A and B are shown apart, each in its own frame.
Chain A
Amino acid sequence: MGEKKDVWQGTLGIMVLKTLDVLGPQHGYGIACRIEQISDNLLSVNHGTLYPVLLKLEQEGAIVSEWGVSENNRKARFYRLTKAGRKELRLEKRHWQRTAEIIARFFAMEGESR
């Protein structure tokens, strides 16, 4: 298990949490579509790779799942954010903002030196 994958799983995980935070309970297909939509299709994700991430979040207790019926009357598993998940999301959000800020400053520095 490479480091890259962990990072990828981590970012994807945050996107999933945010999606569920905004949209409420959602099935895998819905989450995938939402991520594609928000990222403006820049992030072309194989939908299948979402499922290990969902399982990981579920194992961590950030989300729970249950079977339900989709808008098209299809049986699907719905994922829902838990309290712990909401807290996790807040933490991650702060963490990412700070990281992004720092990275941005570094790139800005590079610009000055030119």
Chain B
Amino acid sequence: MKALRRFWNRIAREFRGRHRDSQLSDEFAAHLAMLTEKNLGRGMAPEEARRAAMLTFGGVESATEGYREQRGLVVFDSLWLDVRYALRMLRRNPGFTAIAVLTLALGIGANTALFSVVNGVLLNPLAYPQPGQLVAIYGTSAGYDRGYTSYLNFLDWEHDSKTFDAMVIYRNQDYNYTGPDESERVSGYMISSQFFNALGVTPVIGRTFNRDDDVVGSARVVILGGGLWKRDFGSSPGVIGKTMTLNGVTHTIIGVVPASFRFYGQFRDVYTPIGQFSDPLFRDRRLDLSAHAFGRLKRDVTLAEARADMDGVAQNLAAAYPEADQQVGVSLVPMKEDIVGNVEPFLVVLLAAVGFLLLIACANVANLLLARSIARSREFAIRSALGAGHGRVIRQLLTESVLLAGAGGALGLLLAFWGTRAVLGALPGALPRASEVALDSRVLLFTLAASIFAGLIFGLAPALKTSRVNLQEILKEGGRGVSGARQRLQGIFVIVEVALALVLLAGGGLMIRSLAALWRVDPGFNPSHAITFTLSLPGSRVPGSAGTRARMREFDAKMQAIPGVEAVSTTLGSRPMIHNSTEAFWVEGQPKPANFHDMDQAMFYLVEAGFQQAMGLKLERGRFIQDSDNEHAPVVIDVDDVFVRSFFPKEDPLGKHVHLAGFNVTAEIVGVVGHVKQWGIDTDSSASIQAQFHYPFMQLPEKLMPLAADSVAVVLRTKGDPTAVMGDVRRAVAEIDRRELIYNVFTLNEVVTNSFAARRLSMILLSIFAALALALACVGIYGVISYLVGQRTQEIGVRVALGAQPGDVLRLVLGHGMRMALVGVAIGVAAALVLTRLMANQLFGVSAHDPLTFIGVAVLLLIVAMVACYIPARRAMRVDPMVALRHG
């Protein structure tokens, strides 16, 4: 009770404290005056009386101090003092402060930037209600564990499953939107009616689809994405009920979803009901037409229960439709894992790397502080002698380091802000959910924690060291003699820095070697001087297959007329590293397999005669498809060397025939071309379907020709810079039909690069971190050796006076530095050998223990260390013994 009252009084008084302080000095003055008067009364001289009064009273300062302590909240009082004092110290040493703050800003900034990425990509839940219940649903078949879904199978899944609140199928479908002024290519999804329901998205205005919209023959309706609504309709609420023409068909707008709505990181312009998609192929249970599915699990249903449920459903379907579904299973993947799963390992490695970087930065600043604390040891000795406790001195030092770290953190936050933006902007598409990366409160909290942690880490060692030294020694020796222990500590810091830097360099080096190895791999086509894009054709003008063919020929002629264009081909089906399409087949002369899934599969490319030259394929035997392989000629194909090895291991494939099941034709093999790394340079060799064949576009069966009516892809080979011809290409296309549009333009080099974008991002960041680590370690060694030379000037002077040659001095200093560097490198190599194994799955064409990389980075580090030592060593060589000794 008493304690409580005292506490409240203390706090109340804290606010009146300053006022009370001045009253206190009045009170003391009165007291002293009375004492003096009394002494005068005893007959003392005035001077004497005053002195005696002071003695009786004791120190005014210590009384004030005791009084303040009693007044309470001293900690805050002294903290404020510490902060003010620390600020003054930091201001007085701008060079030191700048270097320390910059070093920390780099360390903390890199950590903040990466954490904001990890936070946005991995930690933050998907931006839908109860996102944990959302799962991606894949159809599986032999060799494909994340395959597309056929519509009829989906309908049965949706109907038969018991563990889902909602199940959705959707497919990518872009449209030509013919507006009042000009046409525009808009992105879109065909979706089943529960799409927005399942995601928990409500429309801004209007409604979403219901089941009646989602069937063939019902009224054509469309939902707008918020982006298109704003861009083309000025966010007008009157848009509901208006119509828009998509691919020549009039659709009524019934709703608008929020502009912020993203699905798999993508914004879409329009959504149409997938059930209205009337292509007969869509309702073939054996085909999938690139449709994906996802669902929302019922509350309290676990993933394992849902998997068991879907396995049962798939088994029933396999029994009911053996021809189509015998080997079709279902796999469920949590949606978040589906979106970000492949970047998690990269990000974890990078996070570890920036953690190391921060440790190096801390070690560096700790060394700076240590070196400085020597210069300040007299100051601390005096403070201690005047009565400052050890705790007090440590607190003072820690205040300084936390202030430094705070400044570093603030600057680092800025660096992180710009850095994240710059890196993500420079490498679009490298990261899923990249647009969700932001500096939110969790990131700010992380930065704050990292700063305080850093401040304590690098501040503690020097602080403890400083407070433990023997005061008398320091005061006696004029602040020089007691540096042995500190030098040891500095040495340890440098060794740790070098070791950490080596680990980072090894990681960065291995990634660079991997990327180089990837670039060296022949993709099977020539990526330079070639460009690919999609050409969309307005749907309403298509007069059947003949029209489509005529239009493709007209397009080819226009392209060939453009100066600088060497070869052109329209193409569909697979496109290397962009799109995968497979076809089931059996070789003539062998018994026809009972159903689709017993047949062999190959990737197919619909091509024209110019494709071989445009892509830069290697013709190994026979001939490539020619213009004469047209709709009137017998069907021919080229196969790749993998096809030959797999299906004609001992025979000549030329002249052999193959039955193509989906196309329902028999084709003669007329040539063999080189294999293309369809699945990406790094993953192609592990893909389950590798055989490929090239099929003449003009010979595509009538029933499949409508697939080419909407849009086709194009590959162009050019003499010079492929992007330079695009202006002419667009003009030529506009001459054919103003409504035709060109989009998704990529040079083949970009296609190759994008196929390992995440790996490249990881390499670039690791290399940046490794370079920073190298620079910091270099500064660290330089700082310690310079300091050492400064400390040993006298000793060196003596040596020179006794006859040491400059070479001896150089050896002495370099030897000291290189010993530390060597120990650091040895420890670093040992650590890296263990740690790089953790990133083995991210390497390509290089072992995690690649000797070349390890030797390379070790030598690099030693050379840099040598240079860092050499500069102060030269200073040591020039030491004038006379000057050095006199100064002692």
- On A, residues with C-beta under 8 Å from B are 1, 27-29, 32-33, 46-49, 51-53, 55-56, 58-61, 70, 72, 74-77
Contact = CB atoms under 8 A, between A and B. Distances in A.
**Overall SS of chain B's interface:** helix
A5 to B, nearest CB: 9
Interface stretch (B63-71, B136-144, B147-155, B230-238): B63-71
Contacts of A58: 9
Given A29-B31, A46-B57, A59-B9, A51 B24 contact: yes
A55 B13 CA distance: 11
B34 A74 contact: yes
Nearest to B66: A52
B35 A55 contact: no
A60 B6 CA distance: 5
9 contacts: A27-B34, A29-B35, A47-B31, A47-B57, A51-B24, A52-B70, A58-B9, A59-B9, A59-B70
Interface of B: 2, 5-6, 9-10, 13, 23-24, 26-28, 30-31, 33-35, 37-38, 56-60, 62-63, 66-67, 69-71
A75 B26 contact: yes
Given A59-B9, A75-B26, A52 B67 contact: yes
A52 B26 contact: no
A33 B67 CA distance: 20
B6 A49 contact: no
B30 A27 contact: yes
Contact of A48 (B10, B30, B33, B57): B57
B5 A59 contact: yes
A76 B23 CA distance: 10
The 8 lowest CB-CB distance pairs between A and B, nearest first, are A46-B58, A48-B63, A48-B58, A52-B70, A29-B34, A52-B66, A59-B9, A47-B57
B33 A74 contact: yes
Contacts, number: 78
Given A48-B66, A49-B63, 9 more contacts: A27-B34, A28-B31, A32-B31, A46-B57, A48-B60, A51-B27, A55-B67, A55-B70, A56-B6
B30 A51 contact: no
Contacts of A70: 30, 34
A49 B563 CA distance: 100
A47 B56 contact: yes
Nearest to B24: A51
Given A52-B67, A55-B70, A60-B5, A76 B57 contact: no
B67 A51 contact: yes
Contacts of A27: 30-31, 34
Contacts of B9: 58-59, 61
Contacts of B37: 72
Contacts of A1: 69
B30 A74 contact: yes
B62 A48 contact: yes
A59 B67 CA distance: 12
B853 to A, nearest CB: 60
A77 B34 CA distance: 13
Which of B26, B35, B58, B66 has the most C-beta atoms of chain A within 10 angstroms of its own C-beta? B66
B57 A52 contact: no
A68 to B, nearest CB: 11
Contact of A59 (B6, B27, B66): B6
B63 A77 contact: no
Nearest to B63: A48
A28 B56 CA distance: 13
B42 to A, nearest CB: 13
Nearest to A29: B34
A54 B459 CA distance: 40
A52 B62 CA distance: 11
Contacts of A55: 67, 70-71
A59 B16 CA distance: 14
A77 B27 CA distance: 7
A72 B683 CA distance: 100
Contacts of B6: 56, 59-60
A46 B10 CA distance: 25
A60 B59 CA distance: 26
B522 to A, nearest CB: 79
A3 B313 CA distance: 78
Contacts of A29: 30-31, 34-35
A47 B59 CA distance: 9
Contacts of B27: 28, 51, 76-77
Nearest to B10: A59
A51 to B, nearest CB: 5
Contacts of B33: 74
Contacts of A56: 6, 70
B70 A49 contact: no
Contacts of B38: 33
Contacts of B62: 48
B25 to A, nearest CB: 11
A74 B28 CA distance: 12
A47 B27 CA distance: 12
Nearest to A65: B27
Contacts of A53: 70
A46 B31 CA distance: 12
Contacts of A46: 56-59, 63
A51 B27 CA distance: 10
A47 B10 contact: no
B18 to A, nearest CB: 15
Contacts of A75: 26, 30
B70 to A, nearest CB: 4
B66 A47 contact: no
A82 to B, nearest CB: 12
A45 to B, nearest CB: 8
A27 B38 CA distance: 15
Contacts of A49: 58, 63, 66
Nearest to A56: B70
Contact of B23 (A48, A61, A72, A77): A77
Contacts of A76: 27, 30-31, 34
Nearest to B13: A59
Nearest to B33: A74
Contacts of A61: 5, 9
A55 B24 CA distance: 11
Contacts of A52: 63, 66-67, 69-70
A23 to B, nearest CB: 15
Contacts of B69: 1, 52
Contacts of A59: 5-6, 9-10, 13, 70
A46 B9 CA distance: 26
A29 B27 CA distance: 10
Nearest to B65: A52
B15 to A, nearest CB: 14
A51 B58 contact: no
B2 A47 contact: no
A32 B34 CA distance: 11
A88 to B, nearest CB: 9
